[in-house]
Structure 1
């Protein structure tokens, strides 16, 4: 069998020297058959290749070839999907969106979020943090059930007005029984630009960056 392998290598080398394809065996079925035929021709007549071994080689190669073709098709599908997502995201520029997220932009003394508690909360602590994660303001309030707008005027707990920029919100809420109430947060703003460099388009709303998949609502600017 060692002699057969050596002859296969020699034949492959000669074929390459003669100008035959240098494509890998897994990517060239014709070359695989040529090598397999050469192996059969050079096997030891007194100890021929086992039929099961021969069949296994065919099955293994067929599986590899099919997997490579599947990968090529998947790459094509992903490329088309990304192109479609990019085109869709680009159409969002200039439109007003509402997207899941905790970050909003403070501009001219106003940053706004939409808070949606799972049910009414008799106690809610709202914490505002700057881009570095530093807490700049806290407020205690109550929340009714359903979506509602929350605006922050930029004034911090120290009494000073914070600089314009990106701020994040965190809401800890509970009901009359003391049970925790989940509160989802979303932001609304006009899309200024779209970043298409990553695996998913990212929309720029002011200084906030929102992935396309987080968008829940789309409307004309100013609507």
Structure 2
């Protein structure tokens, strides 16, 4: 399919919390269904897409460690949570007529393929939506870092982080009414000012590999496709 849009291949990062909707835990079928619809719309427009999903709606390794659990064990549990979320997204996509593959950074052959870079790229080139699960496969690395890594590895044109706010602000807009949204930021400013766009390792990798990152509000239907058309939705983090 021809692609008249600005981007050829993208990597979308969804937090596990994004799947909860208004619930306190788990997956809201309506939310994951809407996200699946938007992902399929992008793919059918001729844009190749990979997705990294977090696991914070089920387990957070860092939180478990803070409560006394061994950090490596907690992170491994968090990785398994991302596999569960990826399987749920695969199901939602396929029920809507899309084609998806779950690839895992840890071996779990009965439910997901091993992550192999060339195989993942081949799936994407064939029009399949590739869901990258289990983070990087290593403890102490977040799914933000996994998203930056996979975006670089598959040669994405853009890394997108879907959040519940419409970009990056000078301060928390929920607490500061005078907070101003940035339309564009440099990587170093994000790190220097600790703006919490993504963790520092992820931003540093994007900077070193010149991977543009856009943060946008995934709660607004249609935002993903608007970005594909070149609209300046949210905040763009790129080279100065």
TM-score bin, normalised by smaller chain:
under 0.3
What TM-score do the two structures reach when normalised by structure 1? Answer: 0.24
Larger Rg: 1
What TM-score do the two structures reach when normalised by structure 2? Answer: 0.22
More helix by share: 2
